[in-house]
Amino acid sequence: MIGGGQAGLAAGFYLNRLRRDEASGRSGRAPTFTILDASKDPGGAWQHYWPSLELFSPAAYSSLPGYQMPARDGDGNPSAEHVTEYLRTYEARYDLPVHRAVTVGSVRVSADGYITDTNQGQWTSRAVINATGNWGNPVIPQLPGGDLFAGQQLHTAGYRGPEAHAGQKVIVVGGGNSGAQIAADLAPVATVTWVTRKPPRYLPDDVDGRALFQIATRHTRALAAGEPSAGDVGSLGDIVAVPAVRAARDAGLLQARPMFSRFISSGVQWENGEQQEADVVLWCTGFRPALQHLQPLGLTARNGVPATDAHLVTRSVDNTGLFFLGYGDWCGPASATLIGVGATARDTVAAAAERAAHAPSEIS
């Protein structure tokens, strides 16, 4: 397994269970497994989020298989720090074999499966589950004049909270959850201009992570069954109105402007020539799956992500022993969420174990 964030740990839970079942005679041979993680500490992306970030849902609806997340002390949904602590405990509780500060540079096909090259040596396996998340691959659009801009360009991935930006003029770009949450986070201390490509669309105020999970699951199941879908989460809106966003929106602090067209030395400029000074342009423009290590495999792409099997959406169409877990709905409904990744992890582990039980030469 590559990646020891929430997705990798959920898969580790099910791999452990297979091994326990094997030991107790309840099932046949279970594969041995290793989790390789580039980070020196547990928690995946959660350890890098800004301090004020709260989950979309209460702890009871944000748990991985087997062990419920403890409730947070006090009001509100759990913080990113709370989730990091939960993942640290989860890893220890199930004694998951995570090898840390192991960065995978490449994966290649071998006669017996796969060769994984890392900064700490080589691993071989019959199957590889990729659970490397998106955090390591931020998307920063390139606009004319970027090299002229005297201020700082930052991405969500580099945002550590409002303190560093007190008194600054900050342009926050992006109409999704991170854009709205960071604009709300900065508004009390900085002069914020919020810029979005399309007018912001808030989900109804009573829609939280639980509802998102149910909508995503219903949508994916309907598509898989060839039935009409009532729509996916995107058809309802883009932004979850968590309390901090709702408060800033209702106070009139989240007035979005359309996208500017270029940088100038002191800030940015719109198509109509209007200019705005800025100390920082903060790109909340999302991420792509961190899959640079798979380049040697030359995978088929579909809609900008690796093409996967229609029956098991985590399995690569190019390599039957290669799986993708956690990145987004393309590899499992709500599989990028704590509550959603469990079911997909269970199915993926079953398929990977089945694949690992056979040498490639035995597979037609």
Query: Using alpha carbons only, what angle is made at residue 232 by residues 129 and 325, rounded to the nearest 5 degrees?
Result: 5
The CA distance from 83 to 43, in Å, is 7
Residue 306 β-bridge partners: 301
Distance CA 54, CA 199 (A): 24
Element counts in the chain: helices (H) and strands (E):
6, 17
Pairing of strands 128-130, 322-324: parallel
Window 218-237: residues binding ligand FAD (CB under 6 A)? none
Cα dihedral 301/302/307/308 (nearest 10):
170
With binding defined as CB under 6 A, does residue 4 bind ligand FAD? yes
Residue 149 or 159: which CB sits closer to ligand FAD? 159
Taking the complex as a whole, the smallest distance from the CB of residue 124 to ligand FAD amounts, in Å, to: 16
Q: Out of 1, 7, 30, 349, point to the residue binding ligand FAD (CB under 6 A).
A: 7
Query: In sequence order, what are the beta bridge partners of 207?
Result: none
Q: Given candidates 3, 151, 162, 200, which one binds ligand FAD under the rule CB under 6 A?
A: 3
The answer to the question of residue 338 lying near ligand FAD (CB under 6 A) is yes
Q: Pick the closer one to ligand FAD by CB: 319 or 335.
A: 335
By CB under 6 A, residue 135 contacts ligand FAD: yes
Give me 79's structure tokens: 């913080």
Q: Which residues pair with 316 in a beta bridge?
A: 308
Site for ligand FAD in 75-134 (CB under 6 A): 103-104, 131-133
Q: Is 39 in the site for ligand FAD (CB under 6 A)?
A: yes
Query: Interface residues for ligand FAD in 143-182 (CB under 6 A)?
Result: 177-178
45 makes contact with ligand FAD (CB under 6 A)? yes
Sort strands 305-306 and 301-302 into parallel, antiparallel or unpaired: antiparallel
Among 1, 2, 256, 294, interactor with ligand FAD by CB under 6 A: 2
Q: In this chain, which of 33, 56, 86, 123 binds ligand FAD, going by CB under 6 A? A: 56
Q: How far is the CB of 9 from ligand FAD (least distance, A)?
A: 7
Return the H-helix or E-strand segment holding 99: strand 98-100
Q: How far is the CB of 145 from ligand FAD (least distance, A)?
A: 28
Contact 117, 30 (CB under 8 A): no
Tell the residue number behind the tokens 């599989």, with chain if given: 335
* Site stretch for ligand FAD (CB under 6 A), options 5-13, 222-230, 255-263, 269-277: 5-13
* Region from 2-10, 18-26, 186-194, 230-238 binding ligand FAD, contact rule CB under 6 A: 2-10
Instruction: Classify burial at 181, counting beta carbons within 10 Å of its beta carbon; exposed 0-12, middle 13-18, buried 19 or more.
Output: buried
Minimum CB distance to ligand FAD smaller for 339 or for 351: 339
Query: Beta strand pairing status for 169-173 and 280-283?
Result: parallel
- Least distance to ligand FAD, CB of residue 172, Å: 13
**Distance between CA atoms of 232 and 130, rounded to whole angstroms?**
25
The residue within the footprint of ligand FAD, chosen from 12, 44, 179, 306 (CB under 6 A), is 44
Where do contacts with ligand FAD occur on this chain (CB under 6 A)? Answer: 2-8, 36-39, 44-46, 53, 55-56, 62, 103-104, 131-133, 135-136, 177-178, 209, 290, 293, 326, 336-338
